[in-house]
Amino acid sequence: MCYNIFSYLIKYLQIPVIFFLSYNAYISAQKMSMGFCPPVEPMPYFNMDLYMGTWYQHASIKSLIKALRNCVEYNYTADTHGGFHVESKYTTYRQTKPVVSFGYAKPEQYHGFPQKGAYKLTLFSEKANFTIDHLILNTDYDSFAVEYSCFEFLFFKRQNLHILVRDRLVNTTFVDSQLKETLHSYKLDWLLRYFKPTRQINCTNSFEKNSS
């Protein structure tokens, strides 16, 4: 009897567990805590076309394992359906060859119309594809961007947040001030204590080389 119950639980939880582990492996900017995701809206008047191109991760919420990732970069490419393709790369202290992953961001629907700045981001993995909410909280398109997502699993939520920049080496005072102002406006200031800078030294601008 106990064996049958245990087998049922394993079978029932198999898909969400695989989903959760795959999600954990993909996202490099995360904070897990109990409770539900807060109500967060994307920035108004978001212009996706201006947002496309190469971004570098300036800082993010990181666990000890994720803190070992260096040279994190993203390349966003628009398609004809209102969404965009995502290609991300990073290296580690042990592996200097870039680790590459892919995804696709589809615009959220609001009363039948695409909601600007809010996307369903599908991340592709060898084990399983999975989809998360992906919000653009703030950007000036030329120098910085703040991206946020939140995923609920059982009684927990995993919040993901990072700040992106157009150049690997930037004015940290300006970028950090934009991050603080953005989080304050969304009442997410408490996440600042978990932020760690991303190492962007001795990196190769692979996306720029590929596009040239």
| pLDDT confidence of residue 11 | 39
Bridge partners of residue 13, in order along the sequence: none
The residue that leads in pLDDT, 123 or 143, is: 143
- Lowest mean pLDDT: which of 127-136, 160-169, 184-193, 195-204? 127-136
Q: What is the overall mean pLDDT for the chain?
A: 79
Q: How confident is the model at residue 111 (pLDDT cuts 50, 70, 90)?
A: low
Summarize the confidence of residues 121-145 as an average pLDDT.
Answer: 87
Q: Which residues of 24-54 are buried (b: 16+ CB within 10 A; e: fewer)?
A: bebbbbbbeeeeeeeebebbeebebeebebb
Whether pLDDT at 85 is above 90: yes
> Are 86 and 102 contacting, i.e. CB atoms less than 8 angstroms apart?
yes
| pLDDT confidence of residue 135 | 94
Write down all domains in the chain, each with its CATH number in brackets.
33-197 (2.40.128.20)
Which amino acid makes up residue 118? A
Summarize the confidence of residues 192-206 as an average pLDDT.
Answer: 84
Distance CA 125, CA 127 (A): 5
Per DSSP (E only), the strands in the chain are 30-34, 53-61, 69-78, 84-92, 99-110, 113-123, 130-139, 144-153, 156-165, 195-197
Q: How confident is the model at residue 96 (pLDDT cuts 50, 70, 90)?
A: confident
Distance CA 59, CA 198 (A): 5
Whether pLDDT at 91 is above 60: yes
pTM value is 0.78
Q: Which residues of 132-163 are buried (b: 16+ CB within 10 A; e: fewer)?
A: bbbbbbbbeeeebbbbbbbbeeeeebbbbbbb
Whether pLDDT at 43 is above 80: yes
| pLDDT confidence of residue 154 | 75
Which amino acid makes up residue 170? V
Distance CA 51, CA 49 (A): 5
| pLDDT confidence of residue 81 | 87
- Lowest mean pLDDT: which of 8-12, 36-40, 49-53? 8-12
